[in-house]
Structure 1
């Protein structure tokens, strides 16, 4: 506004002086005058005496401030930012008028103690200059200081020195665990120092949590499995009290326990839900009341926890009278009001019932007494008891009528509680009718088919687990090592919670816990998405979970014996089809071993002509790692890094790796969907034991130069012929092409370095061509496609191991 007024005044002055027109030199003079007004504004900002004034001025004049002298601005900001709190306020204002390097230096001035380093590294995660502070203070560093550096500044030049000191000075199990938590590559040496100090099963359990993947892991695992099966362990005073504590439910990942406590004077009603967390040393924390809205004056309890831990299946009917259970969902900071689940014709004949929800949420097994229960059905002189039923969901997600599991499971007496394991096939239940050691004993049986009527003969869990009293309410974490249960045997109160190790022959089938996050590949921001998992052999969608909308984190559980595709499906704005970023969500809230000869393109062996994928479950591309013991029989896919530069010959639709034309534009297509989801491949055909796998998932914006890997593409062994399992992946690409009619892609084939250059180039080109022809057969115009055989010329990682070579054997799609 001031510039406009100044220009008008000068124009009027010139007119009054008799100028009939404005010559070029006068225009230049006027513009110089308007530029000088910027100097006045900059001087005003530079005279600010507080950061508040500076931010007020700079936010209203960001373009003018950008013209200022950068060294003077840096000097002024050093004067104004007298604490780290003030510096963070400056950073939150997005000061684009000063370089990131200058901001790093200003921030470094505010690092006054070791405790400031986490905040500084959060702002500048790749900072190298933080070493200036570290080197100036390291002579006075304590053990905890060095641990902090390892955790927050893993790229510091001083890290190797600190690792040596910490390892040398770690003598107890606790000290070794402290270092292992922040230094994964120290574990082998640390394990050797503490493996001889394990005095009991608690020590062994903690050792395996941190050092199970070391060379000492198998030996300790064997001893641990033997020791934990010898005697039931009372969970102690942090869980059990003088009041009845019963009905434990463990989250599938084994880190959270819910249970019911009765008649506590401080409770909401007669029976309340309590919760406990597993601490960093593998011990349960003191249980706390979960409070309203899950606890009220009625009978409250948890049946089951969903595979991602974000849903609880509850005993109580909160909305109305009756016996239907309820579900609550975690809403970032609290549990939402429970929603009643309508089960048609449940019609229990007593107030007592309990159940267990399958990991995928598609069926519920329930102990309930009904008119068609076996207990007393034919014998009028017996009152009978509960039977076990299954309640399935239809394709629309509605519950169907209960179905009795039949006489192999149910008897004329009570089948009082039931748990369905993570494998979806093994049940553990209490029964007074199958005989045993007490009034009700625990049994195990496995489902033989999908009818839910054919079961193996129930097996009593034995005298070590069952007692002469009442033992019931059993639950087993996904790992399958422990069974948690309630018992009236000696303890703190009338009923306590115990655990004991399960013998190997009584454990459910092994499963894998897959966890990670979904992010935008271009800028690494977390994405709100649904994560879907499919059976590659059948194409059936087996289940899905939603990510944490703030962090993009997800968790799913997959049963051994299958190969899976995992696909992140971004939540979209239905009106515009644009991706819902985390910021948009906040705004809205405030307003290979392939089985049967199948072969992945990542596992084509010699130059792409044979071989198998890694059996360790570990990828070395930074996107996928495994933990929780050796990954026996698990193979995982890998992601491809975003590439902002594409190369092709541009000669029609057929191009080769000898091409030399380069495209560097960054055009964004205006399309219905703005991202492509990159699927991942998980092979659990030969899974022998429980495993945890870290698997990152990405979505890729539809922009020129962005690329994805087709991780669920499979070829005949030593051939370029596509296997039918590949069609699911390719059909997804066809759909994307249909929804984005302007989209053009390059199909690039890649191999490892085994074999000759020419052999690899030809094989990679033929495989790319097969994909090209499949898309054309499904009506994708060939003018929108081109295929390239790169052979071994563009490895993702060095070809130094079979795992790395598997990563390099791939087919990519690049957006043109």
Structure 2
């Protein structure tokens, strides 16, 4: 939660407070280079939490209050403030910045762009490395008075903002308004992943760490923490990427999932209630982001993040001994499937050994098609080829099981 606090000399700074369990923490000032000797009035994160957009009247801008951004560095500090430039900023004032969870649509208010009077709400889209010309959202959102602090829901259905408009009955100088977009032509292209993380045995919430990876380039996109009191989490995933999701907590086996969201996918909500297992003999985890070349045991680079999580788990729990198993679907001969699965399991073990794990703690086991999650009889009853192929894909998997702890 970002808060603006006035200073003694007419300046002011941005403060932030974090929700811990069910209570908000004491607001703390944002560090340099976000806050400065000038006035900073509003701020927001992008969907990753690694980029902050904020408003400042510091020296060196286009004039008045401008919108800046800063990128979080690998050591957790914020990088140099970058002015968004003359396409966004004018010689007058820009304020009340909001980056939509789609990761590319910026909303802000300005009294410098072509407006109806006072501050109007504008939007600009970042594509192909540049910002589009700001578009005035027009009436009935904008009026001849000040219209500011616009935010849009992830679905694009509702907007909220404050206005001093006089064309409707109001309760004070500035009221909060809600507007419904009845015909959404360009619905936001993103998936809102939300749910809870709990202990499988007790049902108690877990303040788990949720990491989102881009499987196309193996990069960590963002990190979230589930609420310690409720286990709830909510993650925004813009369309057009293949995501690897890893959920972990001390003393538990991690959970992984692969979510591939095509570029043309419009807004959708996906609920995922995740149950973590404690580190006990016999417990197993499906490694959902392990990928091999076609008909090969060669690991793709997009598998490395997932296997690194296994390395991390083994390093934190030096008494663990595990079996890495590989499974195929039923297409192909039994002998071929058994051989391929054994080679794939061994590839995973070899990777773990290359990262410093003692090979005595690892067993590679290929089961071929002998342990399907969905039987051929069940697959043949499915009505469409797409469903049948999805079932075969579920049978093609890599797992690990705890043998000793």
TM-score, normalized by length of structure 2? 0.83
- The question of whether the paired residues in 2 share the 8 Å contact of 1:330 and 1:336 is answered with yes
Matched ranges for 1:160-179 at <5 A = none
1:491 aligns with 2:168: yes
2:383 aligned partner: none
Q: Is 1:770 aligned to 2:347, yes or no?
A: yes
Which residue, out of 28, 37, 56, partners 1:347?
37
Equivalence for 1:785: 362
Tell me: CA distance 1:336–1:806, structure 2 relative to 1, closer, same or farther (3 Å). same
Cα deviation, residue 708, structure 1? 1.0
**Does structure 1 retain, via aligned residues, the 8 Å contact 2:293–2:299?**
yes
Q: Which structure 1 residue ranges, 5 or more long, are not aligned?
A: 1-311, 376-384, 573-578, 580-674
Deviation at 1:341, TM superposition (A): 1.9
Question: Which residue in 1 is equivalent to 2:49?
Answer: 361
- Helix, strand or coil for the counterpart of 1:388? strand
With over 3 angstroms needed to count, the CA separation of the structure-2 counterparts of 1:778 and 1:371, relative to structure 1, is: closer
Instruction: Confirm whether residue 313 of structure 1 aligns to residue 2 of structure 2.
Output: yes
**What's the counterpart of residue 203 of structure 1?**
none
The answer to whether the 8 A contact 2:189-2:239 is kept is yes
Distance 1:539 1:556 in 2: 19
Structure 2 counterpart SS, 1:353: strand
Deviations 1:580-618 (Å, cap 9, x if unpaired)? xxxxxxxxxxxxxxxxxxxxxxxxxxxxxxxxxxxxxxx
What does residue 335 of structure 1 align with? 24
3-state SS, counterpart of residue 160 of structure 2: strand
Local SS of the residue matching 2:24:
coil
| Structure 2 SS opposite 1:689 | coil
Given that 1:677 and 1:698 are in contact with CA atoms closer than 8 Å, whether structure 2 keeps it comes out as no
Counterpart contact for 1:388–1:410, Cα < 8 Å: yes
TM-score (norm 1): 0.44
Task: State the alpha-carbon separation in 1 of the partners of residues 336 and 108 from structure 2.
Answer: 59
- Supply the distance in 1 between the matched residues of 2:273 and 2:13 (Cα, whole angstroms): 38
Q: What does 1:376-775 align with in structure 2 at a 5 Å threshold?
A: 385-448=64-127, 454-463=130-139, 465-487=141-163, 488-493=165-170, 494-496=173-175, 497-501=177-181, 504=184, 509-521=188-200, 525-570=204-249, 572=250, 579=251, 675-686=252-263, 688-775=265-352
Measure how far apart 1:813 and its partner are: 0.9
- The structure-2 alpha-carbon separation of the partners of 1:709 and 1:524, relative to structure 1 and needing over 3 Å to count, comes to farther
Cα distance in 2, alignment partners of residues 318 and 397 from structure 1:
27
Cα drift, residue 495 of structure 1: 3.5
Residue 791 of structure 1, CA deviation: 2.4
- How far is the alpha carbon of 1:388 from its aligned partner? 1.7
Please give the alpha-carbon distance, in whole angstroms, between the structure 2 residues aligned to 1:525 and 1:472: 41
2:398 counterpart SS class: strand
- Tell me how far apart the structure 2 counterparts of residues 443 and 372 of structure 1 sit (CA, whole Å): 23
- 1:117-132 equivalences under 5 Å are none
Q: How much does 1:722 deviate?
A: 1.5
Q: CA deviation at 1:724?
A: 1.0
Mapped partners of 1:395, 1:776: distance in 2: 27
CA separation of 1:555/1:455 partners in 2, compared to 1, >3 Å: closer, same or farther?
same
1:365 match: secondary structure? strand
Displacement, 1:714?
A: 0.7
Q: Alignment partner of 2:131: what SS?
A: coil
Q: Please, which of 388, 391, 394 is the counterpart of residue 807 of structure 1?
A: 394
Taking the aligned partners of 1:358 and 1:743, their CA distance within structure 2 comes to 39
Equivalent pairs, count: 388
Structure 1 pair 762–323 and aligned structure 2 pair: CA distance change class (3 A): same
Q: CA deviation at 1:773?
A: 3.0
Deviations 1:434-485 (A, max 9, x none): 21444443322123477xxx42222233445433443322111112233322
Q: Using the alignment, how far apart are the partners of 2:124 and 2:116 within structure 1? A: 18
Note closer, same or farther for the CA distance 1:789–1:482 as it changes in structure 2 (3 Å cut).
Answer: same
Instruction: Pick the structure with more helix per residue.
Output: 1
Partners of 2:8 and 2:333 lie apart in 1 by: 70
Deviation at 1:506, TM superposition (A): 6.0
Aligned residue for 1:813, secondary structure, equals: strand
- Would the alpha carbon gap of residues 461 and 706 (structure 1) be closer, same or farther in structure 2, given more than 3 Å must change? same
Is 1:795 the counterpart of 2:372? The answer is: yes
For the 8 Å contact 2:218–2:301, the answer to whether it is kept is: no
Give, in angstroms, the shift of residue 365 of structure 1: 2.0
Check whether the contact 2:21–2:230 (CA below 8 A) recurs between aligned residues. no
d(CA) in 2 for partners of 1:746, 1:320:
65
Describe the shift of the 1:805–1:338 C-alpha distance in structure 2 as closer, same or farther (beyond 3 A): same
Contact 2:323 2:365 in 1 (8 A): yes
Q: CA deviation at 1:358?
A: 2.6
Asked whether the equivalents of residues 489 and 495 of structure 1 are also in contact (C-alpha less than 8 Å), the reply is: no
Q: CA deviation at 1:810?
A: 0.8
User: Is the CA contact (8 Å cut-off) linking 2:210 and 2:246 kept in structure 1?
Assistant: yes
Q: Which structure carries more strand by proportion?
A: 2
Partner Cα separation in structure 2 for residue 510 and residue 676 of structure 1: 32
Q: Contact 2:239/2:262 (CA < 8 Å) preserved in 1?
A: yes
Distance of aligned partners of 1:462 and 1:314 in 2 relative to their CA distance in 1, 3 Å threshold:
same
Tell whether the 8 Å contact from 1:679 to 1:697 is kept in structure 2 after alignment. no
Change (3 A) 1:436 1:323: closer
Structure 1 residues 69-128: Cα deviation after superposition (integer angstroms, max 9, x where no partner): xxxxxxxxxxxxxxxxxxxxxxxxxxxxxxxxxxxxxxxxxxxxxxxxxxxxxxxxxxxx
Instruction: Report the Cα offset of residue 726 of structure 1.
Output: 0.7
Contact 1:353 1:367 in 2 (8 A): yes
Distance 1:561 1:395 in 2: 25
Quick one: structure 1 residues 751 and 343, their matched pair in 2 at CA, closer, same or farther if it must change by over 3 Å?
Answer: same
Question: Where does structure 2 lack aligned partners over 5 or more consecutive residues?
Answer: 380-386
